[in-house]
Amino acid sequence: MKKKTIKAGIAGAGFAAAFHCQAMKRVYCADVVLEGLYSTGATRLAAFAEKEGVRAYDSLDALLDRVDVLHICTPSHTHEAMAVAALKRDVFAIVEKPLTGFFGDGSETYRGDTYPKQRALAAAQASIDRIVAAEEKSKGRVLYAENWVYAPSIQKEREILEKTAAQILWMHGEESHSGSHSPSYGYWKYAGGGSMISKGCHPLTAALYLKQVEGRVRNRKPIRPATVSAHTHALTRSDAFKDEGLIRADYYDIEDFSTMHVVFEDGTVADIMASDIVLGGVHNWLEVNTTNHRTVCNINPNTAMQTFNPVEGNFKDIEVVEKIETKLGWASTSPDEDWFTGYPQEIEAFYGTVAHGLPIESNLSLAADCIRTIYSAYVSSDEEGKRVAIS
């Protein structure tokens, strides 16, 4: 049978755009044709477009006129406007994490760390509402690019939950590393916060997703987060910080350490940590403790492959694992980092929705719960860890 042809565009020409582009080439369920790219940063855009042999557009509208799907791989403060523009044209919007947020009051003096978080929460909720309203009127859908939902270990746990009808009592998980590569990261006005939103969104969304799965299996109704208490810290901006040049330390107004305690509607709990102060490569894991089994999802690192390298230079052209500081000695080298992280599975699933109408596992309501939980957590951290209801 001839596969359906789907025309796609990418907004952005950086890190996320690159892995989306690679994952698109691995889609089996449809013929995905990359129509073109749109991004600020003309030099990088031109180089990317030339490498892929596609057109570099100088307007998002012009690209949207030519595509069925837009991959939104730009900084978080741009996500809402781009998603709404796509949906207005009935174009599917694959939106990178986090869905949206609060990106400042527009003033020159804005600092996210001192701004009242109740107002940030209200603004983030208003942004969610605008995206939901746009999706309701559109033939397109938001496909929320939370790769953890599609990571093989999380999907295996979904299968176990579905087949054992377990109740999850406690999850704990983390995403941490030694600092983002992105120049816009570090400013609340571009990223919508610090480690809690940029990294914590991954294990948090996986935890929210698994409680949704449990609810669907046991009561045909997702189990949603009810309250959150949280603490955040700016460790690399503290006077006592001893900078040894290994941890990125140039953040302007964001936290680099966070911890959230989420209580679900059924009284069960999840503890989520996220930070920019951890050496040794990306540390991505989620442990699930249930009434009939216990699972540890080691997304990164894991022991699928281990290498020993006695001479640093020998591995200079070899990707060992994301954000590792040295390639010397023993390493948990990933044989296919994208696969363990869920990128190709996520993009395959999204094109399954676009081409064949398959249901969306990582949908707008999951993304919205993630944003509501995180901004409620910022309110809590402003109030010394007080328990805050998630609306």
Ligand X SMILES: NC(=O)c1ccc[n+]([C@@H]2O[C@H](COP(=O)([O-])OP(=O)(O)OC[C@H]3O[C@@H](n4cnc5c(N)ncnc54)[C@H](O)[C@@H]3O)[C@@H](O)[C@H]2O)c1
Q: Which residues bind ligand X (CB under 6 A)?
A: 11-17, 39-41, 44, 73-76, 78, 96-97, 147, 182, 184, 198
Least Cβ distance, residue 339 to ligand X (angstroms) = 13
Q: Which residue is nearest to ligand X (CB)?
A: 14
Least Cβ distance, residue 72 to ligand X (angstroms) = 8
Q: What is the DSSP string of 28-55?
A: -SSEEEEEEEE-S-HHHHHHHHHHHT-E
284 burial class (0-12, 13-18, 19+ CB within 10 angstroms)? buried
Of all residues in the chain, what percent are helix, strand and coil, respectively (each to 5)?
Answer: 40, 20, 40
Least Cβ distance, residue 342 to ligand X (angstroms) = 9
Least Cβ distance, residue 108 to ligand X (angstroms) = 19
| Alpha carbons 121 and 125: distance in angstroms, whole number | 6
Peptide bond into 98 cis (omega under 30): yes
User: Smaller CB distance to ligand X: residue 23 or 168?
Assistant: 23
Of 342, 287, 297, which Cα lies nearest the Cα of 168?
A: 287
Least Cβ distance, residue 328 to ligand X (angstroms) = 26
Least Cβ distance, residue 74 to ligand X (angstroms) = 4
User: Smaller CB distance to ligand X: residue 149 or 161?
Assistant: 149
User: Smaller CB distance to ligand X: residue 74 or 232?
Assistant: 74
User: Smaller CB distance to ligand X: residue 37 or 388?
Assistant: 37
User: Smaller CB distance to ligand X: residue 36 or 75?
Assistant: 75
Sign of CA dihedral 14, 16, 19, 21: negative
Tokens of 47: 């180089």
Centroid of chain to Cα 287 = 18
| Alpha carbons 79 and 166: distance in angstroms, whole number | 36
User: Smaller CB distance to ligand X: residue 182 or 289?
Assistant: 182
